């Protein structure tokens, strides 16, 4: 299982920091507030932006009583945690706390309570309150897949109740619900304001069940008219449990004579930094031993700064990496779901090869997180049996070999194409708009101007994401 603190060196550093910042008061002072005590000490030990938060200073409290009163002022561990985040609206949009670390660990392994649907929500044209949904992804062998649901299906209501800006979080968070489907009609015009969403009488009931997702959603070789072999990979999570399966995909690409690659990361919110480095090594192969990316910790943990290298094997003594030795790669993105480790791949490879980004601006998450538990060394072993809290704070910044960060506003596409309910297409098919744009660029046949297409206004709400979706983390290698 995953332990996200950096092995012994980081654990020793954390233990040292906890000791040094606790010299003025008793570690065992606040038994009744043990979770809050864990929150403060954990953030004090590892938080990337510690120096920006006065309440995390090592000398913040002069006495035991002052520290105890400070913790008591917060209604909950969550409230304390949120108060310690640096500029949460713009900089630290990603540090999280959970009262159930079992769910957190499972999520990073690709296991969750899930019905297999991912969707975007939009405002019904002409309304600022009425909402409809468009299915963007149906996970393989999921409840939704087995029920025959498909990408681009439109739903207007749940359990017979029309979706609105006020009721959709409650309706769509249920374990079991019925989607009431609709038709989207653009009235034959380019004017979005006259588009109509109408219920069509069809429905489907779905139940969320324990589901293990294979992040390799689609892997296929496409042969163009000029006999160019193009590898297409839709990859939805950097999950280290599937490193060998990912490597096998690139072995198949190599056997098929692939000379071009389209990497579809439009619904990939991140995952393991090391897996991202393996993927970069599979795409290339000619840079083994050179710096792929760098991780920088806060000033107290600077000794844990690390370079991730291009490599020719998975782990020490692991399988040889199947490399394509490419000098160019196409990456497909969206602006609400392509994040963290996906952005790291684009940023890191761009320093070495030509990366053509097609889609939308990415999320803009350059930081790395790690899971810390209420234990003496903040690791999983020895954790407090009295609760299930854990934190996933930002602990390091990731840059490429040229020390370039991913901008907070995201990475800008070379070819801008937005997904709209009327233009979703079938994933992996050559006429799906984003893939088609890549294939046209590869073949030199020109580009269709998809920027002339417009669509309804999307609903931007972090509650639409899966829990812990936009995370880039260090796992136990």
Q: What are phi and psi of 346, to 5 degrees?
A: -65, -50
Burial of 289: CB neighbours in 10 Å, binned 0-12, 13-18, 19+: exposed
Question: 138: Cβ–Cβ under 8 A, 6 or more apart, which residues?
Answer: 116, 117, 118, 144, 145, 149, 150, 151
Per residue in 73-84, pLDDT (tens digit) is: 999 999 999 999
Asked if 167 contacts 131 with a C-beta cutoff of 8 angstroms, the reply is no
* Strand blocks (E) in 269-325: 271-272, 291-297, 306-309
Asked if 18 contacts 11 with a C-beta cutoff of 8 angstroms, the reply is no
Q: What is the mean pLDDT of residues 448-459?
A: 72
Per residue in 253-306, pLDDT (tens digit) is: 999 999 999 999 999 999 999 999 999 999 999 999 999 999 999 988 999 999
Q: What are phi and psi of 87, to 5 degrees?
A: 45, 65
Q: What is the pLDDT of residue 31?
A: 40
The widest CA-to-CA distance across the chain, in whole angstroms, is 76
Give the span between the Cα atoms of 196 and 176, in whole angstroms.
28
Q: Which of 336, 331, 213, 327 is nearest to 276 (CA)?
A: 331
Give the span between the Cα atoms of 448 and 446, in whole angstroms.
7
Residue 242: strand, helix, or coil: helix
Report the alpha-carbon angle 327-330-331, nearest 5.
Answer: 130
Residue 465 has pLDDT above 70, yes or no: no
Instruction: Count the Cβ atoms, other than its own, within 10 Å of residue 390.
Output: 25
Please state, for a pLDDT cut of 70, what percent of the chain lies above it: 88
Per residue in 204-241, pLDDT (tens digit) is: 999 999 999 999 999 999 999 999 999 999 999 999 99
Q: What is the mean pLDDT of residues 371-398?
A: 93
Handedness of CA 321, 244, 119, 134 (dihedral sign): positive
Per residue in 170-203, pLDDT (tens digit) is: 999 999 999 999 999 988 888 888 899 999 999 9
Per residue in 135-172, pLDDT (tens digit) is: 999 999 999 999 999 999 999 999 999 999 999 999 99
Per residue in 320-336, pLDDT (tens digit) is: 999 999 999 999 999 88
To the nearest whole number, what is the mean pLDDT of the chain? 88
Q: What is the pLDDT of residue 474?
A: 58
Q: What is the pLDDT of residue 447?
A: 60
H helix intervals, 335-454: 341-350, 433-443
Give the span between the Cα atoms of 144 and 150, in whole angstroms.
8
Per residue in 92-147, pLDDT (tens digit) is: 988 999 999 988 888 777 788 899 999 999 999 999 999 999 999 999 999 999 99
Structure confidence at residue 10 as a pLDDT band (50, 70, 90)? very low
Give the span between the Cα atoms of 129 and 122, in whole angstroms.
10
Residue 12 has pLDDT above 70, yes or no: no
Q: What is the pLDDT of residue 448?
A: 55
Domains of the chain, each with CATH number or no CATH: 7-95 (no CATH), 114-211 (2.30.42.10), 216-453+467-473 (3.90.226.10)
Tokens of 34: 């043990």
Distance separating the N- and C-terminal Cα atoms of the chain: 10
199 pairs with which residues across the strands?
182
Residue 29 has pLDDT above 50, yes or no: no
């Amino acid at each position: 299982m995953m332990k996200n603190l950096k092995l012994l060196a980081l654990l020793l550093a954390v233990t040292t920091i906890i000791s040094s910042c606790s010299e003025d008061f008793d570690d065992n002072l606040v038994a009744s507030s043990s979770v809050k005590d864990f929150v403060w000490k954990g953030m004090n030990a590892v938080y990337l932006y510690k120096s920006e938060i006065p309440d995390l200073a090592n000398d913040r409290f002069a006495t035991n009583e002052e520290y105890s009163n400070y913790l008591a002022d917060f209604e909950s561990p969550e409230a304390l945690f949120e108060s310690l985040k640096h500029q949460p609206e713009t900089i630290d949009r990603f540090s999280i706390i959970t009262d159930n670390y079992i769910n957190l660990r499972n999520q990073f392994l690709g296991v969750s309570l899930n019905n297999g649907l991912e969707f975007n929500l939009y405002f019904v044209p002409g309304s600022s309150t009425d909402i409809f949904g468009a299915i963007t992804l149906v996970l393989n062998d999921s409840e939704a897949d087995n029920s025959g649901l498909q990408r681009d299906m439109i739903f207007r209501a749940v359990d017979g109740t029309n979706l609105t800006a006020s009721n959709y979080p409650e309706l769509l968070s249920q374990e079991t619900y019925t989607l009431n489907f609709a038709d989207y009609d653009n009235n034959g015009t380019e004017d979005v304001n006259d588009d109509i969403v109408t219920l069509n009488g069809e429905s489907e009931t779905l139940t969320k069940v324990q589901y293990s997702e294979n992040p390799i959603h689609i892997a296929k070789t496409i042969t163009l008219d000029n006999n160019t072999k193009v590898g297409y990979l839709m990859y939805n999570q950097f999950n280290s449990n599937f490193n060998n399966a990912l490597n096998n995909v690139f072995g198949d690409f190599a056997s098929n004579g692939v000379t071009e690659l389209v990497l579809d990361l439009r619904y990939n919110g991140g995952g393991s930094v090391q897996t991202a480095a393996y993927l970069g090594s599979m795409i290339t192969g000619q840079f083994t031993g050179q710096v792929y990316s760098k991780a920088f910790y806060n000033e107290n943990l600077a000794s844990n700064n690390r370079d991730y290298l291009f490599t020719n094997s998975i782990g020490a003594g692991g399988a040889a990496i199947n490399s394509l030795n490419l000098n160019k790669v196409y990456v497909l993105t969206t602006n609400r779901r392509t994040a963290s480790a996906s952005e790291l791949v684009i940023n890191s490879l761009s320093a070495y090869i030509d990366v053509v980004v097609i889609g939308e601006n990415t999320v803009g998450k350059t930081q790395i997180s790690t899971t810390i538990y209420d234990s003496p060394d903040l690791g999983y072993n020895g954790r407090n049996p009295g609760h299930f809290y854990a934190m996933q704070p930002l602990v390091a910044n990731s840059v490429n070999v040229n020390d370039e960060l991913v901008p907070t506003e995201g990475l800008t596409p070379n070819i801008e194409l937005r997904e709209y309910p009327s233009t979703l297409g079938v994933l992996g098919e050559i006429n799906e708009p984003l893939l088609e744009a890549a294939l046209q660029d590869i073949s030199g046949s020109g580009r269709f101007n998809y920027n002339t297409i417009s669509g309804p206004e999307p609903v931007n709400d972090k509650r639409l994401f899966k829990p812990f979706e936009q995370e880039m983390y260090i796992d136990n290698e």
